[in-house]
Structure 1
Amino acid sequence: MLQFLGSAWALLFGMFLLMLGNGMQGTLLGIRGEIEGFDTFLMSIVMSAYFVGFLGGSRLAPHMIRRVGHVRVFAALASAISAVMILYPTFPNVALWALGRVLIGFCFSAVYVTAESWMNNAADNTNRGQALSVYMIVQTLGIVTAQALLLVGDPSGYVPFVIPSVLVSIAITPILLSISPTPAFETTKPMSLRQLMKFSPLGCVGMFILGGIFSAQFGMSSVYGSQAGLSVAQISTFVATFFIGAVVLQYPIGFISDRMDRRFLIIVVSIIGGAGCILGMLFGDVFTLLLLSAFVVGGMANPLYSLLIAHTNDFLEHDDMTAASGGLIFINGLGAILGPIVTGWMMGTSLGPGGFYLFTAVLFGAMILYAGYRSTVRASLPVEETGSYVPMGPTATSVAMEIAQEYAIETELEEEEAEPETKASTLEPTE
């Protein structure tokens, strides 16, 4: 592990800076939109545009990298991100902001693909799982830290937009100067959605639902805070708490996941997440309880992503796991596009800010009902026949997903190889 950190510290530091920029611009636009007097539904379209671009980037980035190489793709798209962030306050227009969000979503997706392929090249079979965990933690910490930077300047001015632009520009330097080997880039042809749905209906439907939950949380939480009358400091704390919950609860839920029926755990996690939404909807005027609800919702939603992947893998052969990852990401992306739009529409009605939590609660409820239904039509696998849980975040691209799938396969094969040795040792006669 130390060898990986020694070779990839610049990549991790650069990704931390990139996530600072991404975390700032997402929250900042929600606050600035309220200042500019933009309609809540129009702002939801702006926020949804990011996920349109992200989905497109995840599909096209591999072709771009094969054509011009990692370095050119990374440098060009990171520069475009930096430029768009400066343009936001210069042209406060909903249509232009939406276009900028599409471009930034596309660029970030391609940048993640590039960085994750570098990360995979720096790791080996002995530390790939740990490397992926460190990478995900760095990403989340970047988003959390970004919320504190919102307090540096007045969101009605230029300074808060200049900061993420500069951070993204600086992030390019250590990565491009320190990473000399250019990794070979290969991605697996994705499995068709029809095949994937046949293997794991819950995995597919759950990923679509979860896309809506996560995008509403990531895209509309700052809009909710602005509409609810929270201060900038309170909004930044509120948004950060979602991701703090994700980091704190990811591994405990993962530990439990490898020791019980995953469908039952998906139901339990969704019930707790739905309860967190109801808490925020009923007691949103009490800031402490609002933070508690954000912690619970974020802490349940993010592990659900990894749970659904692990559940899907339980019904796949090893050779199919990597191919399935592209389909799962695409389905999640479709749900993510719709999440902010529906949330914004509900918040624009008589529900007001409460529409944010009501929509998320409905999605958690849909997850509970469908997981419960699937439990009645398909027998559960014995725990010893299920694969390993690998922590993943909803921002993961196809490259990170394939790394996780490969690690899960390697872990499962190692466990299968160890079983005969364990049984043999227990059968040895004792003197």
Structure 2
Amino acid sequence: MLSTLSNVWALLLGIMLLMVGNGLQGTLLGVRGELEGFSTYEMSIVMSAYFVGFLGGSRMAPEMIRRVGHVRVFAALASFISAVLILYPTVANPWVWTLGRVVIGFCYSGVYVTSESWLNNAATNENRGKALSMYMIVQMVGIVLAQALLLTADPSGYVLFVIPSVLVSISFAPILLSISPTPAFETDKPMSLREIMKTSPLGSVGMFLLGGVFASQFGMAAVYGGEAGLSLPEISIFVAAFYVGATILQYPLGWLSDMMDRRVLIMLTSAAGGIGALLGMIMGGHFPLLLVSAFLIGGTSNPLYSLLIAYTNDFLEPEDMAAAAGGLIFINGVGAVAGPLITGWLLGAFGPPGYFALIAVLLLALAGYAGYRMTQRATPDQDETGHYMPVMPSASPVAVEMAREYALESAEESDASATNT
């Protein structure tokens, strides 16, 4: 582990700083929007705009990188992120914020593609799995640290917007100065949505539903906190609980996924997350139970993302997996765009319980659909299924491809060991 870290520590540090900036701006806007008197509907549009930009960036960033190279794309997009973060408090208008969120979502999508390409290039066959694990951990740590930074200054001022802007600017240095070779960049054309739906109906439907769940966590959790009357420290802890749960439960659920029918695990995990959301809806007035709810939602929904990718790959040839992953990420992004808009409407119509109502419906619907799919298709042979590899919902197709390569390498090593024995 230490040898792996010595090779990629600067890159991982830069990525963590980027995640701190992204995690802080998402929560901060939810808090500041309430202070500015923005309506719940206006804030839902602001939060949804990030995923519109992210979806567009995931489609356009690869072509930009091919045309002008990794370094120029990374520096230009990160500069735009830094600039927009400063503009938020300068022009406190919901439509200006909406445009800013589109820009930031687009830029972060491109930055993830670029940094993950460098990470994949820096990793070797021997340490690729450890590099991926550390990548996911620093992402989670960055988001959790961002919530702590929310308490360092007054959200009605400028300082909290300056902090993520500075962090994003600083993130350039370790990434750009520590990586000498420019990695080759190739992407596969995503499979058509019809092909993906035919190959894995559960993977397709599940990714769409999870998009709404993720968007509610990442975009609307702070808005919910304001509507529920939580204090600033409580909002910070509440948002962090989602990602603490994701970090703790990711690997145990991943281990189980390689030991049993993944559809059963998808059904049970979704049901557990749905029950957690119902707990928050019914007992949201009790802050400790609210944290339990957030922990369960984050701890189930984030591993579900990787589970659905792994399950879909069980029905694909290795050469088709990268193309399918691009399509699944697009489906997830479409669901993410709709999530904040529906959440905002429910918050306005039913108050704070409406936030958890949507998450509960989405996760329980996924559990029900997973149960239905078990009656429509035979259980895949355990010997023919691929290995689970944790991937964050914010990951680009590059990280998913990196996880796929590691899973295939692990499978080949397992087969070789079995043959030798």
Tell me the TM-score range normalised by the shorter chain. Answer: over 0.9
Whether 2:108 is the aligned partner of 1:108: answer: yes
Q: Which residue of 2 aligns with 1:262?
A: 262
Q: Which residue of 2 aligns with 1:239?
A: 239
Q: Which residue of 2 aligns with 1:190?
A: 190
User: How far apart are residue 369 of structure 1 and its match?
Assistant: 1.4
Mapped contact 2:57–2:110 kept (Cα < 8 A)? yes
Q: How does 1:85-234 map to 2 (within 5 A)?
A: 85-234=85-234
User: How far apart are residue 365 of structure 1 and its match?
Assistant: 1.4
Partners of 2:378 and 2:7 lie apart in 1 by: 45
User: How far apart are residue 418 of structure 1 and its match?
Assistant: 2.7
User: How far apart are residue 390 of structure 1 and its match?
Assistant: 0.3
Q: Which residue of 2 aligns with 1:326?
A: 326
Amino acid at match of 1:153: A
Partners of 1:382 and 1:353 lie apart in 2 by: 44
Q: Indicate the SS of the match to 2:375.
A: helix
Partners of 1:171 and 1:202 lie apart in 2 by: 38
Q: Which residue of 2 aligns with 1:399?
A: 398
Mapped contact 2:261–2:379 kept (Cα < 8 A)? yes
Please give the per-residue CA displacement for 1:31-61, whole angstroms capped at 9, x wherever unaligned.
Answer: 0111111110110110010001111111111
Q: How does 1:54-69 map to 2 (within 5 A)?
A: 54-69=54-69
Partners of 2:193 and 2:213 lie apart in 1 by: 21
Q: Indicate the SS of the match to 1:346.
A: helix
User: How far apart are residue 334 of structure 1 and its match?
Assistant: 0.5
Q: Which consecutive aligned stretches of 4+ in structure 1 deviate over 6 angstroms post-superposition?
A: none
Mapped contact 1:26–1:219 kept (Cα < 8 A)? yes
Q: Indicate the SS of the match to 1:348.
A: helix
Amino acid at match of 2:22: N
Q: Which residue of 2 aligns with 1:382?
A: 381
Partners of 2:416 and 2:25 lie apart in 1 by: 48
Mapped contact 1:322–1:406 kept (Cα < 8 A)? no
Q: How does 1:3-82 map to 2 (within 5 A)?
A: 3-82=3-82
User: How far apart are residue 415 of structure 1 and its match?
Assistant: 2.1
User: How far apart are residue 176 of structure 1 and its match?
Assistant: 1.3
Q: How does 1:354-369 map to 2 (within 5 A)?
A: 354-369=353-368
Amino acid at match of 1:209: L
User: How far apart are residue 383 of structure 1 and its match?
Assistant: 2.1
Partners of 1:36 and 1:354 lie apart in 2 by: 23
Amino acid at match of 1:393: M
Amino acid at match of 1:170: I
Amino acid at match of 2:63: H
Mapped contact 2:4–2:130 kept (Cα < 8 A)? no
Aligned-pair identity in percent equals 67
Q: Which residue of 1 aligns with 2:346?
A: 346
Partners of 1:420 and 1:6 lie apart in 2 by: 34
Mapped contact 1:387–1:408 kept (Cα < 8 A)? yes
Partners of 2:274 and 2:386 lie apart in 1 by: 27
Please give the per-residue CA displacement for 1:152-180, whole angstroms capped at 9, x wherever unaligned.
Answer: 11111111111111111111122212211
Whether 2:297 is the aligned partner of 1:297: answer: yes
Amino acid at match of 2:261: D
Q: Indicate the SS of the match to 1:328.
A: helix
Q: Indicate the SS of the match to 2:255.
A: helix
Please give the per-residue CA displacement for 1:382-413, whole angstroms capped at 9, x wherever unaligned.
Answer: 32221100011100001101111111122222
Partners of 1:320 and 1:169 lie apart in 2 by: 37
Partners of 1:209 and 1:189 lie apart in 2 by: 23
Amino acid at match of 1:389: Y
Amino acid at match of 1:227: E
Please give the per-residue CA displacement for 1:244-303, whole angstroms capped at 9, x wherever unaligned.
Answer: 000000000001110011000001001110110011111111111101110011000000
Please give the per-residue CA displacement for 1:322-347, whole angstroms capped at 9, x wherever unaligned.
Answer: 22111111011111111111011111
CA RMSD of aligned residues (A): 1.0
Mapped contact 1:116–1:400 kept (Cα < 8 A)? yes
Partners of 1:185 and 1:56 lie apart in 2 by: 19
User: How far apart are residue 104 of structure 1 and its match?
Assistant: 0.3
Amino acid at match of 1:385: E
Q: Which residue of 2 aligns with 1:427?
A: none
Partners of 2:184 and 2:247 lie apart in 1 by: 31
User: How far apart are residue 197 of structure 1 and its match?
Assistant: 1.1
Partners of 2:320 and 2:177 lie apart in 1 by: 37
Amino acid at match of 1:409: L
Partners of 2:380 and 2:182 lie apart in 1 by: 41
Mapped contact 1:24–1:147 kept (Cα < 8 A)? yes
Amino acid at match of 2:259: R
Amino acid at match of 2:24: M
Amino acid at match of 1:379: A
Partners of 1:240 and 1:252 lie apart in 2 by: 20
Mapped contact 1:4–1:122 kept (Cα < 8 A)? no
Q: Count residues in correspondence.
A: 421
User: How far apart are residue 414 of structure 1 and its match?
Assistant: 2.2
Larger radius of gyration: 1
User: How far apart are residue 417 of structure 1 and its match?
Assistant: 2.8
Mapped contact 2:343–2:358 kept (Cα < 8 A)? yes
Unmatched tracts of structure 2, length 5 or more: none
Partners of 2:60 and 2:161 lie apart in 1 by: 28
Partners of 2:319 and 2:169 lie apart in 1 by: 40
Partners of 1:373 and 1:146 lie apart in 2 by: 40
Q: Which residue of 2 aligns with 1:426?
A: none
User: How far apart are residue 5 of structure 1 and its match?
Assistant: 1.9
Q: Which residue of 2 aligns with 1:277?
A: 277
- Shifted more, 251-260 versus 317-326: the winner is 317-326
Amino acid at match of 2:420: E
Please give the per-residue CA displacement for 1:158-205, whole angstroms capped at 9, x wherever unaligned.
Answer: 111111111111111222122111111111222221111111110111
